[in-house]
Structure 1
C-alpha cells in the first residue's frame, strides 16, 4: 500500500528480506558444493561447481537442499540448469602453420592443458585432403603424467621427427586426447582442437653463391666463425645455424652480405 506504512523495504539500510537461503548441491548422495548465504539482490544469481566424473561414469544424481534455518524470507527459485564439459586446451608446437625447408627435420608436438589431470591418453591423426578425412598414424600413448603449473595440469607430447619433402606440404596433423584408451575411439568422448598443424614445405633455394671456405675457432669461451664466398651478384643475407646432433639446426644469427 503506497499510501500506508512501508512493510517491506528490500533496498533499505537494514536487510528486511529475512533469512538468506543457503543451498547445498548433493551429487550421488554426497554434499559436494554449498553456495553460502545468498543475500537478496533482486537479480538471478549464478552458482555452480566443477565435478570430475569417474572413468566409466555416464550419469549423476543431483539434488538441492536449503541449509538455512526457518524464518521470514528464506525463499528461492531455481532456473536454467546448465551442464557443460570442461574441455582441455591444446597449444600446438612450434605453431599451427610451421614452415619447413625441404630435406630439413620436421619437429611438431602439442601441450595439453586441463582443469583436472584426467586427459592423459592421446593419438596423432593425419589428413591429406585439407581436413575432410583423418587417418590414424599409429602414434599413440598414455597414460601421461601431467604436472601442475599453478593454474592447470599440463603435459607435452611430440610427434616422431621426420625429414620433410615437398610432397608433405599441405599435410595436416592433429592430436586427439581422452580420459581412457578406449575413449580415443569414441567421437563423443575424445577431444581434438579445431585448430590443427598444417605443414608448408618449400625447396628454400639457395642463391648461387659458392662457399669457398668456412672455419671456426674457440678462444676464451667465445666462438669466431669465418667464411669466404664467391662474389655476391645481388643483396643476400647469411643465416648461421647451430646443431648439437647434426640433424636439427637452430638459427643463432643473421648477417647481411657485403655485396662484393
Structure 2
C-alpha cells in the first residue's frame, strides 16, 4: 500500500533538509502554495485517482486530517510541524510506479530562479513489525516542465527514505530558472517505489518561491549592518555597497530602497547601481537593496530578492539626567542611594566633580557613605557621541543619637524611673509615652526611640528584672 499526503504551505521548516537541492541564497515570499483546506472533490483535476470517503485502496485518494485510518501498520498521527495541520490529500498509489500528481504553477516571473520544496514522510511504522526489514522504503521523483509540457526544466529523485519508529518529516527541494517570456511551469510528482509491504508516504507543503543571491550591504564606516550618526556630526554622508554572494544569479540588477521610522520601504529614484551614496542624513534611515537577474523583475517582490536592512541611526545629543532629589541621610543607616533618571537608551556615569574628576560609578543610581556633591552624566554606550551636561546630587550625612542599653532591677510593689538621658530630642517609648523619662511599676523589656531634628534615630532598650524582698533567714540571741 502506498500513501501520499499533501498539506498547506509551511513557512518554518523544523526537520533537517534532505537531498536534491535548495536555494543557496535569500528566498522571497511564497509565490505559490498548495492548500487542501477545501473539499477533496475540487482536487480531482490534479490526479486521475478516484476519490473515496474512507481509507483509500490502490489507485484512490481521500481528503482528511486523520492519518489513523489504517492503524495496523501506519503511524497514527502527523507531527505538528506544518501550518495547516488540517485536511490532507491521502492517496494510495497504484501498485505500479508512475505519475500520481500534476499541477500547473502560474504567475511566475521570467528570467528568475525559483525553489520548489515539499515535505515527505514515510508513514509506515517500523515498530509494527508487519513488514520485514522495516518495509520497502519510499522513493519520489519531482519534475519541472515548461508550460508546453515538452521541455523538462529540472528534476530530482529523493532516493530511498526508510521507515521510522516515530513519524518524521524531511524537507526536499529543487531549483530551476525560468526563461524569457516564461511565466508558468508544470509540476509532476512520481512514485519510484516498488510495490509490496511498506512504501507508504505523505507529502506536505508544496511551495514555490523566488531564489536569489544572499546580498549584504557594506560600508567602510562600520563592520556591522548599522552606523550611529551623532547629532553633532550631522548631516551624515555614507557610501553603501551591495555585495551579492553570486550563489544563484549570473546577472545582477539593483534597486535601492529606503524608509524612515514607522514607514514602508520605497524605491529611491535613480538608485540602480551597486554603490549608493546616502547623503544629508538628519533622521534615522533604513536601507535595503533589491536584486534581480532581469531589470523588469525589480518592480515585483515575488521576482526579486532583497538584502537585510542596513541602518543609519541618528543619535540625538544626550540630555542631562533628571535628579531624584538631594539626599539627607543618617550615619547609622549604612550607605545612602543617590538616583537620577535617564532618557531612552542613554547610560549614566557618576563623577566626583562638575567637570573632569574621577569616574566613580555607572548606572542610574549608586551608593555612598561619604557626604558631598556627586555629578551624573548621560552618554551612549555603543556610540562615540558627545556626553550630556552633568547633574549635581547632594548627599548630607547627619549624626544619629548615641545610646547604650541598660539592665535595671525593680522591687516588688515598687516603681522605677527610666530615662533616655539625651536632652532636647524627640522620644517614642514602647509604652506610647513621648517624654524624656517615664515611671514603670513592673518588670519587662522597655525601649525608647530617640529622634534628632534631622529625623535620625537610635533605639535604647531597658531590661528590667524583679528583685525578691529581703527575708530574715535566722535570729540568734546570746
Question: TM-score, with normalisation over the residues of structure 1?
Answer: 0.53
2:299 equivalent to 1:185: yes
Gaps of 5+ in 1: 1-6, 142-156, 204-232, 236-260
Number of residue-to-residue matches in the alignment: 184
Equivalent in the alignment of 2:162? 39
Q: Hey, which of these two has a bigger chunk of strand by percent?
A: 2
Identify the range of structure 1 (44-53 vs 100-109) with the bigger mean alpha-carbon deviation: 100-109
2:199 equivalent to 1:54: no
Equivalent in the alignment of 2:141? 24
**How far did 1:102 drift?**
4.2
- Pairwise CA RMSD of aligned residues? 4.0
**How far did 1:70 drift?**
3.5
**How far did 1:193 drift?**
4.2
Distance in 2 (CA, whole Å) between partners of 1:49 and 1:78 is 12
CA contact (8 A) 2:137 2:163 kept: yes
Q: Which one has the largest radius of gyration?
A: 2
1:129-184 Cα shifts (integer Å, max 9, x gaps): 7534635231214xxxxxxxxxxxxxxx3214x7x54x644344331222210111
Distance in 1 (CA, whole Å) between partners of 2:282 and 2:260 is 9
**How far did 1:22 drift?**
1.8
Equivalent in the alignment of 2:198? 73
Alignment counterpart, residue 99 of structure 1, candidates 205, 222, 228: 228
**How far did 1:197 drift?**
2.9
Question: TM-score, with normalisation over the residues of structure 2?
Answer: 0.32
Matches within 5 A, 1:162-177: 165=280, 168-177=282-291
Distance in 2 (CA, whole Å) between partners of 1:104 and 1:198 is 9
Matches within 5 A, 1:144-163: 157-160=274-277
Q: 1:68 to 1:123 in 2, by over 3 A?
A: same
**How far did 1:23 drift?**
1.4
Gaps of 5+ in 2: 1-72, 74-123, 146-150, 318-354, 358-478
Distance in 2 (CA, whole Å) between partners of 1:105 and 1:9 is 63
Q: 1:82 to 1:189 in 2, by over 3 A?
A: closer
**How far did 1:26 drift?**
1.7
CA contact (8 A) 1:124 1:140 kept: yes
CA contact (8 A) 2:140 2:159 kept: yes
